[in-house]
Amino acid sequence: MLVINKGLVPVKAWTDRVESGCLEQAINISNLPFVVSHVALMPDTHQGYGMPIGGVAALDGYICPNMVGVDIGCGMIAFRTDIVDITQSQLEEIIRQAKRDIPVGFNHHSKSQYDEWPNGFDLGKSYGIPIISQEIGSAMNQLGTLGGGNHFVEIQRGDDGFIWLMIHSGSRNIGNKVATHYNEIAKEINKAAGYPIPPSYDLACLDINSQEGHEYSIAMHFCLEFAKKNRDLMMKRFYKAFQRVTGSSLITVSVNIHHNYAAGEEHFGKYVIVHRKGATKAEYGQLGIIPGSMGTSSYIVTGLGSEESFNSCSHGSGRVMSRAKCFTTIDVDEAYRSMEGIVFDGFMMNGKGKRKGLDEAPQAYKDIEDVMANQADLVRPFVKLKPLAVMKG
- pLDDT tens, residue by residue, 374-388: 999 999 999 999 999
Q: Is the pLDDT of residue 120 over 60?
A: no
| Alpha carbon distance 20, 26 (integer Å) | 10
Please indicate, yes or no, if residue 44 is contained in any of the structural domains.
yes
Q: For residue 122, is it within any domain?
A: yes
> Residue 124 pLDDT > 60, yes or no?
no
How far is the C-alpha of 81 from the C-alpha of 113, rounded, in Å? 26
The whole-angstrom separation of Cα 345 and Cα 142 is 23
With bands split at pLDDT 50, 70 and 90, how would you rate the model's confidence at 125?
low
Alpha-carbon dihedral sign for residues 142, 148, 151, 156: positive
75-89, 106-120, 305-319: least confidently modelled range: 106-120
Name the pLDDT band for 393 (thresholds 50, 70, 90): confident
- Structural domain containing residue 116: 2-320+365-392
In a domain, 37, yes or no: yes
Distances (CA, A) of 255 to 13, 83, 276: 27, 18, 18
Measured CA to CA, the distance from residue 34 to residue 262 in angstroms comes to: 15
Question: What's the pLDDT band for 126 if we cut at 50, 70, 90?
Answer: low
From CA 14, how far away is CA 45, in angstroms rounded?
9
Q: Kindly state the average pLDDT of the residues 333-343.
A: 95
Q: Per the domain annotation, does 335 fall within a domain?
A: no
Give the C-alpha separation, 63 to 31, whole Å.
Answer: 15
- Residue 117's pLDDT band (boundaries 50, 70, 90)? confident
- The 10 Å Cβ neighbour count of residue 241 is 20
**Residue 123 banded pLDDT, cuts 50, 70, 90:** low
Bridge partners of 63?
206
Rounded Cα gap, residues 154 and 77, in angstroms: 11
- Digit-coded pLDDT (tens) for 4-36: 999 999 999 999 899 999 999 999 999 999 999
User: From CA 263, how far away is CA 257, in angstroms rounded?
Assistant: 13
| CATH number of domain containing 376 | 3.90.1860.10
Least confident of 204-218, 270-284, 316-330, 364-378: 316-330
Q: Which of 168, 259, 275, 315 is catalytic?
A: 315
- Average pLDDT on 130-148 reads 93
Residue 356 lies in a domain: no
Q: Is pLDDT of 349 > 90?
A: no
Q: What angle do CA 385, 233, 261 make, to 5 degrees?
A: 75
Residue 119 has pLDDT above 90, yes or no: no
Give the total number of structural domains in the chain.
1
Lowest mean pLDDT among 44-58, 122-136, 310-324, 336-350: 122-136
Label residue 121 by pLDDT band (50, 70, 90).
low
315 is catalytic: yes
Q: Is residue 340 part of a domain?
A: no
What confidence tens digit (pLDDT) does each residue in 165-175 have? 999 999 999 99
Average pLDDT on 64-86 reads 97
CA angle 291, 385, 357 (to 5 degrees): 50
Which residue, 11, 30, 54, is CA-closest to 312? Answer: 54
The rounded mean pLDDT for the chain is 95
When pLDDT is cut at 50, 70 and 90, the band that residue 116 belongs to is confident
Residue 376 lies in a domain: yes
Length of the chain measured in residues: 393
Strand order from edge to edge, sheet including 53-59: 2-4, 11-13, 35-46, 53-59, 270-277, 260-267
